[in-house]
Structure formats: C-alpha cells, structure tokens
Chains A and B, each alone.
Chain A
Amino acid sequence: MKHPSEATLALYAGGDLHALGRWRTEHHLAGCESCRLVVEEFGALRGAMGELRDMPEIAWNRVAAEMKANIRLGLEAGECVRNAEPDSVPGQPVFPGWRALVACVSMVALVTAGFLLERTTPQNAASVEGTVLRATANGIELRQGEQTLTLLHGRTQEVLYSAGAGGSMRARYVDADTGYVTINNVYGQ
C-alpha cells in the first residue's frame, strides 16, 4: 500500500487539502491505522501551536512605542540643529539631507512592522466556542479551548459511537484483551 506523504497528511489534518486530494486521503485513511495516527498527531500539534499566537511575555505595543519615541526624539534634535542654520534657498532639494530621508524610511518601516506584528491572527471561520465533543480515529475527544481530554479505545477496530443530545458522546467496543464490552463516555458540561 502506498502511503500519502507527511505533507499531504498535514494538509489534510488542517483541512487545507483540495477536494480530490481530500477524497483520496480519506479513502486511504479508512484502511490505514498508522496514517490515521499521523493525522491525529498533526491535529494535536495544530492545537498546541495555536497557543503560541497568544504569547503574553512580549509587549509589542510597548516596544513599538519606545522605538517610535526614540526616532521622534532624533528627528526633533535634528530639527533644532537645522533651525540654527540659514533658511533654505530656492533651488535646494525639498529634503535637506540624507539623514531626514533615512528617518522617514525608518518611520514607514516601523509603522508597517508594527501593523504586521500587532495584527490579530484571524480565527478559522469554522471554529467553535464552548465545549466540543467529537469522535476521532483513536477515541472520544472533549475540547474546551485549547485543552483536551480524550478517552482512547486502544487497538480496537470495531467501535460503535453514539451521541447524546444532552452533551455526551459514547464509544462502545469489545476489549480485544479481556473480551469485555467496554463503554467509554465523555460528558461536556
């Protein structure tokens, strides 16, 4: 059996694969436990990386404001020096010197960088809030924000899932080792 590449599985886990690729990958995943596990891993990794968006330790606003203030100070100091010189005469260039040009370019770069750094990362349009319960390839997952609890069903292949409209989900299988009917239930409250 030819397995899809990791890049394909990663795109599939993120919902970014084109329709044909998604169909082919789903077809493969239906019969390939190892690839399903890889997709699960990518899904979990995406969840973990999502937290990096909110790194609170770096105050980008404060850094940008300090840099802006320093540049403004430099410009004002330059202005003081320039005022002491005789007024410009017709025929001289609009920008009195290369320093002012550099300062303007720096200002534009700073504003652009600030905009890019402070821009809120857009949320996926299909994202959900509150508590979400769903069946995954390995078990039933309860997700609250970026944290999850998953009851797994091990190596068992034949699993019956059922949902409760009260906010619960159930996976039922015959344990391969003990022969007991095991019913995992996850409740979101």
Chain B
Amino acid sequence: MGSKFAILSVAGLLTLGAQELPLDLQNSVKIDLPSNSPVTLLSANLGGSHATPRGSAMVVDLQQMVLSLRNAGDKHIRGVTLLVTAQEVTPGGRGSVTLASLDVPPGGAFPVHIDLRLLRPAQLTAGPLVQVSLDGVLFGDLSFYGPNRLDSRRAMTAWELEAQRDRRYFKTILSQRGPEGLRSSALESLVRQAERPRLDVQVVRGRSVSAAGVAPEHVAKFAFLEFPDSPVKPVEGWAQLAGSEARSPRIQVENRSGRSVRYVEIGWLVKDSQGREFMAASVPAGDPDLYLPPGRSGRVLQDAALKFSRGGQPVNIAGMTAFVSQVEFADGQVWIPNRESLAGARLLGVLAPSPEEQRLTDLYRKKGLDALIRELQKFE
C-alpha cells in the first residue's frame, strides 16, 4: 500500500508542477481544403496553444486558433462549416464549427476561430492532434459546395431561410412602425432571450445512464403542435421516461404535401412538474434513406438518452410536446415554420432565436439602433 501511495504522491507532485508545453502548427494541426475549394486558406495561427501534463494524461489546449479564409469563388458566401476531428482521442466523435449569417463577397476574407481542448493519454504518437477540413460552403443563391459529411447543406440552408425570414420581419417593422418600432422589437427579442427557460441536457449514446435510484421507466405519449403550412403532420409518438431521463423518441409523421420528402426534424419540448415548458432537443430523422412520397407515413426515431437538469438538480418530466421544425424535400428545398406560426403556438418564448435574430439583436445591444438599421438595409 505504501508503494501505491508513493506512486500517487509522485503523480500528484508531477501534476502540481506541470509545465505548459507550447504547440507548433505543423505538428499539431492538419488543415485540409480541397484544391477546387471556393474558400482558400490565407493564414493559420495557433495563438497561445499549449499542452499541459496532468498525471498520466495530457491536456491539449488549441486556444484562439485563427484560420483566415478567403472567398475564392464568384458568389457571396452565406455560411461555412469546417469539420474538426481528433480521431486518436475520440474515435467516431467529431466536431464542427459553422459560421452562419455571413455575407462575404467574392475576394473577401474572413477569420474562423477554433478553440479546442483535448484530454488524452500522455504518450505522444506521430501525426497531427487535430484535423480541420471543409464540410461545406453555402452561397447566397442557396447553392452548395462540399463533401457534406455532416449534412451541413441542410442545416446551413435552414439557417439562411431563418435569416431571410427574420430580416424580413425586422424590415417590415421598420417600414411600418419606424425606428422606434424596430427598437421596441429588438428589445422585446432581447427580453425574450434573457427570460427563455433553459434546461441543462446531457446526451448519452451507447448506454443509458446507469444508476442506482433511477425512477421506474414508463412509456409516455407526445402531444403535438401543428402548423397550418407544415408539409408534414405529426400523427403519434412516444418516448421512454424515467424521472429526469428520456430516451428513444419515436414519432409517426405523414407527408401531407404534394412533394416527396427526404428529411424531417421534430422539435421536442418537455414540461416539468410545475408546468414550465422547456426546449429539450431536436429529433432528426435517423434514417438516411427516409423517403416519403405525398400521402405516405414514416417514422422519426432516435436511440440516444437525454438527462435533464436545472441548476444542478434533476428535472422530472411531467409531459412532452412535439412539433415539426424542419422538412427537406427530395429536390433539396427546405421548409421551416414562419414567425406567425411560431408566435401563434407561443413557441417564440420557448425556442432559441434564429442565428440571424441573435446576431441582429446582439448588434443592436452593442452598437445601437443606427447600426441595426444599416445592417438591415444591406440586404435586399
């Protein structure tokens, strides 16, 4: 026991006396852009990146890494997604960094910040710690370039449609109610964002949360919110609930439009025992081969387990509601709910604002009404 205690003590001393080791770009990061990519790399800077030994592990901080990219194409860029992998550390796990609501003209340059931390075994092996590659670029005309491994085409298209929708909303306010009306709307949005009830969600894949003391599991049914213009209608659905944990949502949907559908995403709300409603998660269609011709039904299902808490305390789930939040047609066009539907279903206060609403209201908060008006006037 003495020997083991001594080893632990030495490890502890090593940890306390840990030294930061600087990282260099060539050995740490591999940046991979296709030769015909519409964005090119102007420069890369690792900032203050370093590695710190901690016992038998190593903490690698790629902090303030900045990639400077240039629009080498002939169209305005609206979004870029970079795929970030550290295969040796998290086999199968990966990350991405997306810049949405961009407006980069041909020839324009823009920075992408990537901050990453890895906790890995101390034994170093050959090869870069992190690989950064291009997953996709979305242009102003909604055309797309890239391998699309993360389905970034659909995600960025939906964000761009939300951006157009919300700019249109603020511009209508400006034209109908003037600058003071716009100020009032921006403030309303900021208040809504600040007061939006939030839930801490932990996602577990591979195995549900173990544990002693977990409440008995039961099957709970979803209630549904329906939007009049939604091309897909939710029919029925269930999930397994156990106290503050939910897993395996299954929702039957029906294509009521005249066009074939290849993707459906469901918004999942949960209600706590006091009746407060929270946005829990989105449920993407798990089947990559989903195809719903007009009038046909299909199922949206996932197997991950979600654990809900608030302020460190578990939140027991008393009810669940779902709504169709996104639909992709077979021709690649995307449907999203309009603002009237969201307001009518009282979802604006529960859902996070769109990336564009977040950006515009942040601009108003930091630079004032004139900056917001100038920004809105940039877009037709």
**Measuring CB to CB, which residues of chain A are less than 8 angstroms from any residue of chain B?**
22, 26, 44-45, 47-49, 51-52, 55, 58, 113, 116-117, 125-135, 138-140, 142, 144, 146-154, 158, 160-169, 172, 174-175, 177-189
Contacts and interface: CB of A to CB of B under 8 A. Distances in A.
A27 to B, nearest CB: 9
B69 to A, nearest CB: 12
A144 B355 contact: no
Given A164-B284, A187-B93, A154 B311 contact: no
Interface stretch (B34-42, B98-106, B215-223, B226-234): B98-106
A129 B207 contact: yes
B205 A149 contact: no
B113 A177 contact: yes
A59 to B, nearest CB: 12
Contact of A151 (B91, B115, B121, B204): B115
Given A47-B57, A139-B117, A147-B89, 19 more contacts: A26-B312, A48-B59, A49-B11, A58-B4, A126-B209, A126-B211, A128-B209, A131-B206, A132-B205, A134-B202, A140-B95, A152-B115, A153-B115, A160-B358, A162-B281, A166-B284, A175-B113, A187-B93, A187-B96
Interface of B: 1, 3-4, 7-8, 11, 15, 54-57, 59, 63-64, 84, 86, 89-102, 110-111, 113-121, 150, 159, 193, 198, 200-207, 209-213, 249, 268, 279-284, 286, 302, 304, 306, 311-312, 352-353, 355-356, 358-359, 362-363
A150 B116 contact: yes
A45 B54 contact: yes
A37 to B, nearest CB: 12
Contact of B54 (A48, A133, A140, A165): A48
A42 B352 CA distance: 31
